[in-house]
């Protein structure tokens, strides 16, 4: 009773020691919020399609704390079970970090000055993503000091009728400074219990099999996520591994659109909704990590650099400290659906081909125009497939609609509209190539067409001697310069305005 009174009095004191004591007391006496095994499924339903879940797992490898140069997405059959695997060559995780990955909302990702901005910040991507793709996931990770295996498995939790989400983890410590020496694990009760849970309730049946899997990292490090009991639809695997040996396809999205009386046709669907290879090629605004799907590298598309007649525009809302940059241009794609705004957030695609402004009209206005914008000031929702519908989002959409309309009008009716032939419109303003070694992008001299480049291109192939070695930094984006430069001349807009003024003047004087 004395303790209670003491604590009660302490509650009013604000110094750090008191608060720390109170926190400890709270952690003893106040129950924590639990997680039901069923939550794993419920939480995963925020992903309305499988690729959205896959993107979460790619993001995790991409982020600066992992900092992988490469992620390999594959299918494998392990002990008779079809698995979807994600293997990166990043930093790997300590046991504590792995436990956080298997928990909810722990995100240690911090932006380091000069490095890439982390994409994830809700600390939910692995859980929602993996559990959307399959019932079970087992994670192998090798860090410089240890190797760990962790299990997030709905099957395991159902088998043992668990009341809360238990995540068995086993860790092997690695001896320092010696290459290729076997790790050592503790032989205490806890470790054995965790190991047994994994061996009895996963697709790996012996400790040797686990160590074998870990040996795949060789002398390097990295993380391998193996997802099994993959989601089924109508007794088939949800994802289509058969149609294309170098791709993973999503057959779910073939909606037949009956908008027309005369010709009910299959709706023009974006290829990125159906092909993982295609989706991965546009997933990052500036790709910095190799994505390899079923052994074949994804050729990334640098969207803003593949357009023709590109113009920059900008937007400075009162509530934002900096200007937002738009890039508008014409796509070379023949699919009429391939136009609209590509909205990125911290380099990651959130919404693709979002029709705005004229493009929402059925009369062909705005056709073929693509806008690219990195909208870091907006808040992506839970599944990173949309933004929170705030006043800021509304203001942004209103603005980007206006800017797209401006761009279209200028290119169609403006001063320079007549000078171009239709053929010219199809070619990108510049050809860019990414070095397969350093992953940097190089602008190629005029006359070189992207299609003519070899499958694997390296800096030394660049005819431009000022950018033909991997140690030469990438050509700067010159955003500061772009800021100073006036935006393109909106001749059509000016004429319209003049005409209106003239009319008003005419009215006034008559």
Measured from the Cβ of residue 349, the count of other Cβ atoms closer than 10 Å reads: 20
Q: If binding is defined by CB under 8 A, does position 87 make contact with a copy of itself?
A: no
Q: Of 438, 437, 457, which is closest to residue 448 (Cα–Cα)?
A: 457
> DSSP letter at 360?
G
CB of 209 to a copy of itself, least distance (A): 16
The answer to whether 153 and 202 have CB atoms below 8 angstroms apart is yes
In sequence order, which residues have a C-beta less than 8 Å from that of residue 459 and are 6 or more positions away?
435, 437, 438, 440, 442, 467, 468, 469, 470, 472
Please give the C-alpha separations between residue 197 and each of 81, 97, 150, 169, 203, in angstroms, as whole numbers.
19, 20, 10, 9, 11
The window from 367-375, 378-386, 463-471, 482-490 that contacts a copy of itself (CB under 8 A) reads: 378-386
**Per CB under 8 A, which of residues 165..184 are in contact with a copy of itself?**
165-169
Q: If binding is defined by CB under 8 A, does position 60 make contact with a copy of itself?
A: no
CB of 255 to a copy of itself, least distance (A): 5
Q: If binding is defined by CB under 8 A, does position 379 make contact with a copy of itself?
A: yes
The answer to whether 221 and 144 have CB atoms below 8 angstroms apart is yes
- 180 burial class (0-12, 13-18, 19+ CB within 10 angstroms)? exposed
Encoded tokens for 150: 């962790």
User: Of 104 and 241, which CB lies nearer to a copy of itself in the complex structure?
Assistant: 104
**Per CB under 8 A, which of residues 283..342 are in contact with a copy of itself?**
319
The window from 73-81, 274-282, 377-385, 415-423 that contacts a copy of itself (CB under 8 A) reads: 377-385
Residue with tokens 């989002």, as numbered in its chain: 393
Encoded tokens for 470: 């991997």
The answer to whether 410 and 490 have CB atoms below 8 angstroms apart is yes
Q: If binding is defined by CB under 8 A, does position 189 make contact with a copy of itself?
A: yes
Q: Of 413, 465, 473, which is closest to residue 439 (Cα–Cα)?
A: 473
Q: If binding is defined by CB under 8 A, does position 365 make contact with a copy of itself?
A: yes
The window from 282-290, 389-397, 424-432, 462-470 that contacts a copy of itself (CB under 8 A) reads: 389-397
Residues paired with residue 342 on neighbouring β-strands, in sequence order: 372
Contacting residue, 146, 281, 306, 383, with a copy of itself by CB under 8 A? 383
CB of 18 to a copy of itself, least distance (A): 11
User: Of 163 and 322, which CB lies nearer to a copy of itself in the complex structure?
Assistant: 163
The window from 40-48, 338-346, 419-427, 446-454 that contacts a copy of itself (CB under 8 A) reads: 40-48
Encoded tokens for 333: 């794609």
User: Of 49 and 326, which CB lies nearer to a copy of itself in the complex structure?
Assistant: 49
Q: Of 410, 369, 399, 402, which is closest to residue 494 (Cα–Cα)?
A: 410
Contacting residue, 234, 421, 422, 466, with a copy of itself by CB under 8 A? 234
3-class SS of residue 223: strand
Which uninterrupted H or E stretch holds 50? helix 50-62
Contacting residue, 259, 422, 466, 509, with a copy of itself by CB under 8 A? 259
**Per CB under 8 A, which of residues 96..155 are in contact with a copy of itself?**
99, 102-107, 121-124, 152
Q: How far, in Å, CA of 431 to CA of 443, rounded?
A: 6
User: Of 397 and 439, which CB lies nearer to a copy of itself in the complex structure?
Assistant: 397
User: Of 288 and 392, which CB lies nearer to a copy of itself in the complex structure?
Assistant: 392
Contacting residue, 79, 111, 158, 192, with a copy of itself by CB under 8 A? 192
Q: If binding is defined by CB under 8 A, does position 390 make contact with a copy of itself?
A: yes
3-class SS of residue 486: coil
**Per CB under 8 A, which of residues 8..37 are in contact with a copy of itself?**
8, 11-12, 19, 22-23, 25-37
The window from 80-88, 334-342, 368-376, 382-390 that contacts a copy of itself (CB under 8 A) reads: 382-390
Q: For strands 81-88 and 134-142, give the pairing.
A: unpaired
Q: If binding is defined by CB under 8 A, does position 263 make contact with a copy of itself?
A: no
Q: How far, in Å, CA of 101 to CA of 334, rounded?
A: 42
CB of 208 to a copy of itself, least distance (A): 16
In sequence order, which residues have a C-beta less than 8 Å from that of residue 284 and are 6 or more positions away?
62, 300, 344, 347, 348, 349
Q: If binding is defined by CB under 8 A, does position 158 make contact with a copy of itself?
A: no
Q: If binding is defined by CB under 8 A, does position 364 make contact with a copy of itself?
A: no
Q: Of 353, 345, 342, which is closest to residue 380 (Cα–Cα)?
A: 345
CB of 328 to a copy of itself, least distance (A): 15
Contacting residue, 112, 160, 449, 502, with a copy of itself by CB under 8 A? 160
How many positions of this chain bind a copy of itself (CB under 8 A)? 104
**Per CB under 8 A, which of residues 193..222 are in contact with a copy of itself?**
193-194, 196-197, 200
């Amino acid at each position: 009773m004395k303790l209670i009174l003491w604590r009660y009095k302490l509650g009013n004191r604000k110094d750090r020691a008191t608060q720390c004591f109170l926190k400890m007391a709270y952690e003893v006496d106040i129950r924590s919020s639990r997680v039901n095994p069923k939550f794993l499924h419920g939480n995963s339903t925020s992903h309305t399609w499988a690729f959205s879940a896959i993107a979460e797992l790619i993001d995790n490898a991409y982020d600066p704390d992992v900092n992988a140069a490469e992620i390999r997405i594959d299918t494998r059959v392990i002990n008779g079970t079809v698995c979807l695997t994600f293997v990166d060559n990043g930093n790997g995780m300590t046991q504590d970090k792995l436990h956080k990955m298997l928990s909810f909302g722990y995100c240690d990702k911090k932006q380091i000055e000069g490095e890439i901005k982390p994409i994830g910040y809700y600390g939910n991507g692995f859980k929602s993503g993996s559990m959307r793709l399959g019932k079970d996931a087992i994670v192998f990770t090798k860090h410089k000091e240890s190797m760990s295996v962790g299990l997030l498995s709905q099957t395991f939790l159902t088998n043992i009728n668990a009341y809360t989400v238990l995540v068995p983890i086993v860790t092997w410590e690695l001896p320092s400074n010696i290459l290729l020496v076997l790790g050592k694990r503790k032989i205490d009760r806890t470790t054995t219990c965790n190991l047994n849970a994994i061996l009895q309730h996963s697709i790996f049946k012996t400790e040797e099999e686990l160590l074998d899997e870990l040996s795949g990292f060789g002398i390097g490090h990295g993380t391998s996520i193996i997802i099994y009991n993959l989601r089924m639809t109508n007794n088939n695997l949800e994802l289509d591994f058969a149609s294309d040996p170098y791709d993973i396809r999503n057959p779910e999205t073939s909606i037949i659109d009956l908008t027309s009386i005369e010709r009910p046709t299959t709706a023009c669907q974006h290829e990125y909704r159906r092909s993982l290879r295609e989706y991965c090629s546009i997933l990052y605004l500036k790709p910095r990590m190799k994505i390899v799907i079923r052994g074949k590298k994804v050729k990334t598309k640098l969207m803003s650099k593949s357009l023709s007649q590109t113009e920059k525009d900008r937007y400075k809302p009162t509530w934002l400290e900096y200007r937002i940059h738009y890039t508008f241009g014409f796509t070379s794609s023949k699919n009429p659906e391939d136009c609209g705004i590509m909205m990125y957030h911290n380099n990651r695609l959130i919404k693709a081909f979002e029709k705005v402004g004229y493009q929402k009209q059925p009369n062909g206005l705005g056709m073929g125009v693509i806008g690219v914008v990195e909208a870091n000031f907006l808040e992506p929702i839970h599944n990173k497939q949309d933004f929170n519908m705030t006043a800021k989002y509304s203001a942004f959409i209103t603005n980007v609609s206006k800017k797209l309309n401006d761009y279209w009008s200028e290119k169609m009716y403006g001063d320079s509209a007549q000078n171009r032939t239709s053929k010219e419109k199809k070619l990108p303003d510049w050809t860019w190539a990414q070095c397969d070694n350093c992953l940097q992008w190089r602008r190629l001299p005029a006359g070189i067409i992207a299609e003519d480049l070899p499958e694997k291109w390296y800096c030394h192939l660049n005819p431009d001697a000022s950018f033909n070695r991997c140690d030469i930094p990438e050509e700067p984006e010159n955003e500061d310069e772009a800021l100073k430069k006036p935006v393109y001349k909106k001749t059509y807009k000016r004429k319209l305005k003049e005409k209106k003024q003239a009319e008003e003047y005419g009215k006034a004087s008559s």
